[in-house]
Every structure is written in structure tokens, then in C-alpha cells.
Structure 1
């Protein structure tokens, strides 16, 4: 599947997910509102019907005056009752029919009751309400019995046409609101989807370019999503680091070929001159060739050491080591190089017994001290310190040499990185000493830091935790 199809799938999934969630919420809210509304409306109708029956009884009692019923007004009351779903029959105190709705308009009564029945069936197919008649006694203002009224209806709760229309109108309104909400949700979902997928598309394109070796372009996109911004910044940082690594790799080819070619050319020139009889194989000539062989061997050994650390084949061989004595011996071995530049090596070394890899720690200190001698001007100084602090061993190598530019500090532990190309060619090396040093420190579960100012000097600080052989 190509990327564009993946992008469409991502957009579709985001849209479908958002719309599904909102649709579920809208439907849930709509159903809830509908249920609550119907229940509340049903309670209202029930209470209202009871009030209307009480009002009906009061109205009928008021139409009895001077021992006579006002038939005209009773007929109007009866017609209103039919419209409200109640069939009344009024009897006097001698049980004579005064007025009856069915006698007045039986067809109208049937139509009204059938309408109510249809309404209730439409609203609730399981409705099985039955028509019932309730009897209410009537009294005059003095409390004397004046007759009674039979009220026929489908109980205290039923829907008239107006009420059904009201509920249908509300339901239609809920549906319209739901549709509008869904449409708005789809639009918002598309905007959110694009807002998320667009930067991801750019990141994907950039990673594809990086995979093809293109490290010059950065993602120029500002997202209002924190995680997306973090992702973009991480990809840009990765691009910068890979670009720098690519430059280092390209430079490595030139540097290694130069470092190897120089001693090989010198050896070849000397040997050809000796074989052609131009030079005599004197001790000086042979000594010069030997120096070039030693230099060549040193370069090869550096590459071999780096390869060993890269392949994870290097393991610690821990033994009880007197760190102070170890560093002091290394100082003695390097004083000759320091004296050639009139550099003073000072030290403050505590007697620390600890479980360390003696060979690797020696290589670490030699690398740091050699660098300090190499990049400290004549008449300068180097100061080495070692001490124990809390549960860690500290090693400081400080000099007042040429220093390291701020922009180079973050790269000095990278493979084949050299601060000053021209200066490095004069001093030798291919830029792997500090890389090896950092690997040694990492093997000991420690850390190495560097602080430096150009023209003032550099200080390396190594921190190695005290290692218990039981933890290995």
C-alpha cells in the first residue's frame, strides 16, 4: 500500500472515529431527552387531566341554581369535555338523565375516542388502555346532594391530537439538531484530521528523503498540537545529526586515506631509494621507516579498538585497582611528551581502591592526557585530579590549552569528529580517541562531561559509579 492510501486511511479513520463518537453522543442525548420529555409530559398530562376533572365537577355544580340545571351551559361544558377526550352523562338527584354526550352527538364521541385510541397506539404499539367510567357526586353550595356525573375516558393519561403534534414537533426538532450536529462534527473531524495528518505526511516525506540520503531539507511546519510539534522537532534534530554524521563519514574517507597514505608513501619512498642504491640502509633510514610503521600500526589499532566497541564485543575485566597509582604511572609515562613542549603536569590523586577494568581505564586516562598535551601550547599546564564522592569516582583532566569552540562541544565524542581539520592533520589522529573514551566510561556505567573556552582551556570530568562485583 502506498503512502497516499495510508494517508487516506488515516483521515478516514479519524473522521469515522470522531463522527462515530459524536453520533453516539448525539443519539444518546436525543434518546435521553426524548424519554425524559415523554415521561415529564406524561406526568403533566396526568396531573392536568385530574385538574380538569375537578374543574369539570365544579363547573357542573355551578350550573345548578334554584333547583334547576342550566342546560345550555351544561351542553357547552359537555362539548368541551368531548374535545378533551371525556364523555359525560349528568343525572339529577332522582337519577334522571339531565344531559348525555352520546345523546347529544354520538358520532362525535366515537370519533374522539377512536382518535385517542389511534394516538396511543401510534405512540406505543403495546398500549392496551381500556375505556372506563367514573362516577362523581355533585353538591350545591350548601352541601346538599344534587345529582352525579359519569365521566367516561381512557384513564388519567392519554394523548389528544394537539399533544401528539407537539411531541412530533419536538422529535423533529431533535432530529434536525442531531443532523446539524453531525454535519458540523464531520466538518470539524475533517479539519482535525487534516490538522493531524498534514504534519504526519510532511514527517513521512522527510523520513523518506532521509532514507534516500537527503539531509538538507527541514520540516517547515508549525502545528498547534504539542505532540506533533515535538515529533517535527525530533525529525529535524535527527536530520541535522544524520547530516553531520554523513559529513563525518565523507570526511573519514579523506582523513583515513590521508593518514594511511602519508606513512605508506614515506615507507615506499625510503624502500625504493634503498633498493635503487640511492640511499644506504643506515640505522637512521631504517629507524625512520620504523617510525612510520609504528604510526601506521597506531592508526590501525585505533580503528580496531573502535570497531571492537561498535560491535559490542568489548566487555569489562574487573579487578581491584589502585586508581591513584594507576594515573600516576600514566603521568610518568607521558612526562617526556609534556617536557618537549615545556608543559607542567600537576596532580592531586587520592588513593582509591575500586573494581575497574585496568586496561580500559588506562586507555581512557591516556587518551585524555594525550589530548591535553597535544592541544596545550608550550609553557602551559595540565592538572589531573581523582577522588571519591558519595558512591562515585571522579577523574578530572584540566588544561589551559587552545580550548574547544562552543559549537563543537556537542560533537567531540562523535566518531571521526575533529575540531580543527588543519590542526588535526598536524597533530595526527583520525578523531576516534574521545569516542573510545566515552565507550569505556559507558561500559563502566558512568558519564563523561566537558567544559571549555577557546583560548582558556578544557576540562574533562569522568564520573564512574563504584561497582560491586555482585551487581555484574
Structure 2
């Protein structure tokens, strides 16, 4: 037992751990899914944002495809525009470089368009006249050397190995694309724009069936933008995401996000800890009060009341527990009264018998038939009392045996009234019967027992010259018999106590007539056990009305 007590986990602790662990599991799973989803989809989101910067490239590629109607033919034809004798690897190098060159051309064209729009309002773009003049000259020079997407390699000559750098023939920058020395032969200069976002190294061209054509292929994720011509897809421009899980930039980015997620997780843990503790405390206090209340009931303190002011199941439980305490207190009071009454009822006839026997032993009385008859009446009273006690105990324990059979209850009443005729005459009472027969399914002996008690009670408590009226009443579902008598009448308080064990309205009168005070209580229990009901009210004749009701069996 000691081991079980040590290992027992209180319900408040269980509730605390359950709420805490549930909150932690939900937070852990949510943050892990968020982190996983960010690693999986955020790089694609960044690539989609970058793809929006490639609208000019896509527009140019659509125009190129409209001229050649095939990507391979377009690349080959534009390479053949270069003058001179190609080296062994020049065609391969230019094929790999063709898409990057288209990107450079789109950058230059967009750069020119943006700065041209800025010079529409020169005072707003550059208030200094000298600087504005230099900017205008630069735009004129850029316009003269502005490349075309249809001649991407203009300014190059074969062989490429004779030039310094295929991708940067003339050094320039986005801020100053103009070279230091002008071109003297009248041809456009080859200018390469700086790629700050590094998009050109991640571009790839695919045909309409998403078959790789040229560029930088990617085995993993790829963002695609369709290339449309006359509302028909002729190819796709693909962009490899810049954020890769193995890149230093990506590692730093996701490390920073992980720190924020861990901070959120820590705050969630603290909040869950606080909420779980408050919730456990909220339930622990009323449970402890209920536990203390049950312990008081176990000790026999039935007047103890649990105070739990809650509008939930625990509040309902406390109300039911308090009601149980009231019922137990009533039962205990009734039990004590039962024992006291029983001992009192048994003590009187036993004392009389003892006195009579002692008188005979001392020679004061002789064992005459009269004295023996008086002793026999006391024995009969004891026998009736013990039999009534036994029957009442069995009735309350639902252990009385019944043998139900179809009977005519009114015929039984007529027979019992006839049996009591001498007593009615002796008590100078008139009796009147008015009723009709109805088939009921009852135990005839138990029904007789009830009627005997009711009739005897009327004879016992009705004054001489009074009357007893027995009549029946019937509805579609019930049959009732009324036993009305004339005064003695009862007060409302006396009427409310009828049916209690050992309760007598006139104790001295009942003892003189041999009553035990159990008849009405026993009759009520027997009637209830057979599916009926015995109730009491004031009689129209001025005395007591006893109403015995039974349900009428339905026809099968």
C-alpha cells in the first residue's frame, strides 16, 4: 500500500502535465512545420519575386522566337552574324553564353528607358546644369551603342580567343557604362552590364514542352515564367533559387529565423506553464473540498456542507453531495427514531407480561383463565408488532413476496367490511358502500392486508355515532377506493405525518385498542410495491380520507 501511495499522481498534477505537454507538442509541431515550410517554399517565393524583374528579357525572347520559330535556329543564326573565322570552341562558348547576353541586352535597354524617362523632367532629375549635360551626353552615347536582342553579339569578332573577355569586352558599370575611349570604326561597342543580383548565372531556357535548351540547368527547384507569342506558350524562362540550404547566405538566413522561432517557442513554453498551473489550481481547490466533504460523510458527520460556488459539473457534484448529506442525516435520524420507537413499543407489552408472571411467581395472582387471557393478549400484541416490523422491513428492502393474479378488488372490500360488521356495531358506527367492480392484477392477501388496516384505522379513530363511507372511482387508466370517516379530525401537521412508523394521532386511544402505529406505513409500502399509491387528505365527513389507487391493466 505504501508503494502505491508514493507512486500515485494527483489529478491536479495530471491536469497540469497534460495541458503543459499538449501546449508544448502543439507549439513544437507548429514551429517545426513553419520552419520546414519556410525552408521549402521561401526560396521559391524569392525566385518568383526575382522572376518579376525578367519581364523585359521574356519580351525580347518572345520577339526572337517570332523571327526564327525555333530556339535552336535562333541561337545558331545569331551566332553566325559574327564576322571572322571561329575558333574550335567558339560556337560552344557562345551557345552557353547566348542567354546571358540576352539578359545583358535587356538590362541595358531597361537602363536606357529608365534614365530617358528621368530626363523628361531634367530639373527634377539633376538640378546641376553641368551634371545634367554630362548625363544627356552619356544617354546619347548609350543610345548609339544600344544593342538589339536580334543581334546580341554585335561588336564581337572571331576568333574569341583574341579578345580579353567574352563577357566584358569594354569595362563599364551601371552608373557609368560609357568606356574611356570612343569607337573609331563607327560600329557599336560591345557593352556588358554588371549583374548585381546574379540572375544571369541562374537562368535557363526551356522549350514549350519544358525541355532544356540553353543556360544553367538545375536539378532541384526551379521557378518558371512562360514565354508567350500570340497568347501561345512557346517556351519557359527558368530561374534557379538563389537561397539554397547549403549556401552561406541561406544558412545565415535560416539561422536567424531559427533564433526567432526558438524565442517564440520559449515564450510559448512559459505561457503554457502559467496557463497549466492556473488551470490545475482552478480545479484542484474544489476537488480538495469535495474530498474533504466525503471524508466527513464517511466519519458520520452528515451535517457537513461542501461550499463550491461554481456553475459547472463540480458545482453540480457539490450540490448533489450536500443533498446526499441531508438525506443521510434524515436517514440516520429516522434510524435512531426507529430504534427508539421499536424498543419503546416492545418494552410496554414485555413489561406487562413480566409484571404478570412475577405476580404469579410471588403468589399474588393465580393462573386463572382471565389472567392467562390477558397475558395472551400481550403475546398477540407482541406477535403482531414483530410481524408488522418484519413486513415493513421487507417492504422497504423490496423483498416482500407478491403473487399477482386477476382479482375483483371491490368484492374483496365488501367481504372485509362484512367481517368488520360486528366491530362497526360495537363502535356504534354506520358504514356505507358505493362502488363498482373492475379487474385488477394484485396480490389478494396483500390487498386484504391494506384494506384491513384502513378499515381498522377508521374504526379506531372515529367517535361513536359517526360514519364510514367507502366508495370507488374509476378513470380510463386508474381505479381508486376512498375510505372516509367522520371526526376525530386531523390537523395539517398530523396529516403530513401519517404513514410514518410508530406515529399515532392519539397514543393512549391506540394502545387501548391494540394499534402498533405501523399499519398505515406498512400499507403505503405494500401499495407502492404493487404499483399503487396510498395518500391521505381531509375527509368531507370531517375526519380522515384514505385514497388507495392502482393502475388499470391495458388490454393486450
Q: Same fold (TM over 0.5)?
A: yes
Q: State the match for 1:10 in structure 2.
A: 11
Q: Do structure 1's residue 61 and structure 2's residue 61 form an aligned pair?
A: no
Alignment of 1:83-232 (within 5 A): 98-99=191-192, 129=220, 154-155=240-241, 172-225=259-312, 227-232=313-318
User: 1:298, CA displacement in angstroms?
Assistant: 1.0
Please tell me whether the aligned partners of residues 405 and 453 of structure 1 are also in contact (alpha carbons under 8 angstroms): no
The C-alpha deviation readout for 1:218-259, integer Å capped at 9, x for no partner, is 22332232x222222222222222222222222233222221
Aligned length: 415
The C-alpha deviation readout for 1:15-67, integer Å capped at 9, x for no partner, is 23333443444445445555666676455423311112336865421456332
- Alignment partners' CA distance in 2, 1:182 and 1:458: 75
Please tell me whether the aligned partners of residues 173 and 194 of structure 2 are also in contact (alpha carbons under 8 angstroms): no
Q: State the match for 1:448 in structure 2.
A: 533
User: 1:13, CA displacement in angstroms?
Assistant: 2.0
For the residue of structure 2 that corresponds to 1:317, the secondary structure is: coil
User: 1:267, CA displacement in angstroms?
Assistant: 1.8
Please tell me whether the aligned partners of residues 468 and 484 of structure 2 are also in contact (alpha carbons under 8 angstroms): yes
Q: 1:254 aligned to 319, 331, 340, which one?
A: 340
Q: Compared with structure 1, are the counterparts of its residues 421 and 166 closer, same or farther at alpha carbon in structure 2 (3 Å cutoff)?
A: farther
- Alignment partners' CA distance in 1, 2:297 and 2:506: 27
The C-alpha deviation readout for 1:146-196, integer Å capped at 9, x for no partner, is xxxxx9973577689888777666655555445434433443333333333
Alignment of 1:306-455 (within 5 A): 306-309=392-395, 313-334=399-420, 347-371=433-457, 383-397=469-483, 401-403=489-491, 405=493, 409=496, 416=501, 418=503, 432-444=518-530, 446-448=531-533, 450=535, 452=537
Please tell me whether the aligned partners of residues 377 and 402 of structure 1 are also in contact (alpha carbons under 8 angstroms): no
Mind listing any 5+ residue stretches in structure 1 that lack a counterpart? 79-93, 114-126, 137-150
Q: Compared with structure 1, are the counterparts of its residues 265 and 11 closer, same or farther at alpha carbon in structure 2 (3 Å cutoff)?
A: same
Cα RMSD for the two superposed structures: 4.9
- Alignment partners' CA distance in 1, 2:469 and 2:476: 22
Please tell me whether the aligned partners of residues 403 and 452 of structure 1 are also in contact (alpha carbons under 8 angstroms): no
Q: State the match for 1:238 in structure 2.
A: 324
The C-alpha deviation readout for 1:325-345, integer Å capped at 9, x for no partner, is 212333444566667776665
Q: State the match for 1:117 in structure 2.
A: none
- Alignment partners' CA distance in 2, 1:165 and 1:335: 113
The C-alpha deviation readout for 1:357-378, integer Å capped at 9, x for no partner, is 0011122233344455556677
User: 1:100, CA displacement in angstroms?
Assistant: 6.8
TM-score by length of 1: 0.68
For the residue of structure 1 that corresponds to 2:310, the secondary structure is: coil
User: 1:301, CA displacement in angstroms?
Assistant: 1.0
Q: State the match for 1:116 in structure 2.
A: none
TM-score by length of 2: 0.59
User: 1:442, CA displacement in angstroms?
Assistant: 3.9
- Alignment partners' CA distance in 2, 1:404 and 1:211: 37
Q: Which has the higher strand share?
A: 1
